Amino acid sequence: MKDELSSMDEPKEEESTTKPEVSAGGGPASTIWDSFSSLRLAIILLIILAVASLFGVIIGEFVRQGAPPEYYIERYGLSKYRLLKAVGLINPYGSFWYLATLVLLSVNVLVCSLKRLGPAWKSAFSLSFRDSEAEMRALKIKGEAELSASLDDAGRLVASELKRRGYRRLATKRPEKEPGIVTISASKGGLGRLGFVVTHTAMLLLLIGGIIGSVAGFRITKYGTQGEFIDVPDREFKVRVDSVWLVLSEKQEIKDYHSKLTVIDGGNPVLTKVIEVNDPLQYRGISFYQSDFPEDPRRIERAQINFSVAGGKGKEGSILAEFQRPVLIEGTPLSVKVDDFVADFVIDQGVVTSRSTEHRNPAVKLSIYENGKYISSRWLFANFPDFHGNQGEKYSFRLESYMPAFKTGLQVAYNPGRGLIWSAIFLGTFGIFVSFYIYHKRVWGYVVRTAGDAKTKVIVGGVCNKSTSGLRNEINRIVDSLNKL
């Protein structure tokens, strides 16, 4: 038998038999449809979206995102706060210009997908025939064999061989005008033609999820100290801050921040978790991320206080006093308690308060008891240990040092579009797999009775949208199998 296999250059993908749709008419609707189906528009919108996203990241470095309005008003003033809010600089990803870009890109993706879906579907699942030997020989990947079988039997053998190799979509035709030939059309991997539909759908879900998250979700920052409750917008449950603490390395450098939180729902604790960076607490779709850990301007952990007792039996020493917990000074009838703390001491209209959250002028209020009886209170200043309030007193105290207490800064986030976004990620991964690893192969068989003898000639050829070398090897194996029959 004759075994001839073409070794010509890699073939180009056969052009679709279906021409691209052309919008009928020239009205505004047609113009809008054609505009949104433009690949150029998609590229422009993607560039705008990338620039807008980068702009949002840069703005986040200069303007804090998600803070309560009081923060911006205190920092920038009411008029600037209104301006920042109007132009979307305090929440770029929820601003009108960012959402408009997402909506336009969504429409663009949808229109492009719809416009290409019909031709791609027809190309993937329809069968066409090549009814002449010239058409078969025009294929760059082909092989030829001769069988000692009748025309119909040879056609069935070719079809059987294609089925054995996974070509389930198959049809055989015997043209009425040319009764001396049988043509076969087969294909497999048509799903690979629709990979773009899957990835476009995933992209559309991603954009819709982002829009829903920006419109209906929130991402705000809340602060709380030990024992305080954190409210959640539009939710009935609260989160109690049980404790906050630093994790230090062997070199006493900050290694991590931890917060122990308890969800109180319906008056009952329902969930407790210790959170840290990248390990949030999640409850009813709300996530509580550890995002900040500032020093508390009105609370400390403990203070190191030096003391001296005047008189012949005077005593000097140092005590470590926990915040708001009395401590007895051994060898004396005294006990003391750190009642209050301010990070930036100032007296405003007769009231001691903190001028700022910075520890610029830290001071503790020390209450003194003698034999359990309160006798006096005084402020001790870290920056002014010899403040005149200590002069001439029976008991002298100095604030040697203190350990600041910390507040936990929680980023409270709710994204109702998260389900769509996760679906888009899985669907997009599947779409990429379909696009790159499922090859659409179309194979044709042409069987013709050889004049003057009892044999039939078979030409098998095909095209593939990817991996033409794989198709060439497969055609080789098909021809070899036919030659061995």
Q: Give the span between the Cα atoms of 414 and 416, in whole angstroms.
A: 6
| Cβ proximity of 288 and 281 under 8 Å | yes
Beta bridge mates, 249: none
* Amino acid letter, residue 445: G
Q: Give the span between the Cα atoms of 362 and 342, in whole angstroms.
A: 6
pLDDT value for 180: 82
pLDDT digit string (tens) for the chain, length 485 residues = 333 333 333 344 444 444 444 444 567 788 888 888 888 888 999 999 999 888 888 887 777 777 777 778 877 888 888 888 888 888 888 889 999 999 999 999 999 999 989 999 998 888 988 988 899 999 999 999 988 888 888 899 999 999 999 998 889 888 777 778 899 999 999 999 999 999 999 999 999 999 999 889 988 888 888 889 999 988 999 999 999 888 888 887 888 889 999 999 999 999 999 999 889 999 999 999 998 888 888 889 899 998 887 765 667 889 999 999 999 988 888 899 999 999 999 888 888 888 887 888 999 999 999 888 998 898 999 988 877 555 556 778 889 999 888 889 999 999 999 999 999 999 999 999 999 899 999 999 999 987 666 788 999 999 998 878 889 999 999 999 998 87
- Say if pTM beats, i.e. exceeds, 0.75: no
pLDDT value for 84: 86
Angle, vertex CA 72, rays to CA 69 and CA 74, nearest 5: 105
Q: Give the span between the Cα atoms of 223 and 217, in whole angstroms.
A: 20
Q: Give the span between the Cα atoms of 143 and 158, in whole angstroms.
A: 12
| Cβ proximity of 428 and 206 under 8 Å | yes
* 3-state secondary structure at position 354: strand
Kindly write down the DSSP assignment for every residue of 267-306, as one continuous string: TEEEEEEEEBTTB-EEETTEEEEEEE-PEEEEEEEEEEEE
pLDDT value for 432: 92
| Cβ proximity of 420 and 202 under 8 Å | no
| Cβ proximity of 301 and 404 under 8 Å | yes
Torsions phi, psi of 155, nearest 5? -65, -40
DSSP secondary structure code for residue 215 in this structure? H
pLDDT value for 453: 60
Q: Give the span between the Cα atoms of 151 and 178, in whole angstroms.
A: 12
CB burial string 129-139: b at 16+ within 10 A, e below: bbbeeeebeeb
Angle, vertex CA 125, rays to CA 119 and CA 130, nearest 5: 90
Q: Which residues contact 181 (CB under 8 A, 6 or more apart)?
A: 131, 151, 174, 175, 446, 447, 448, 449
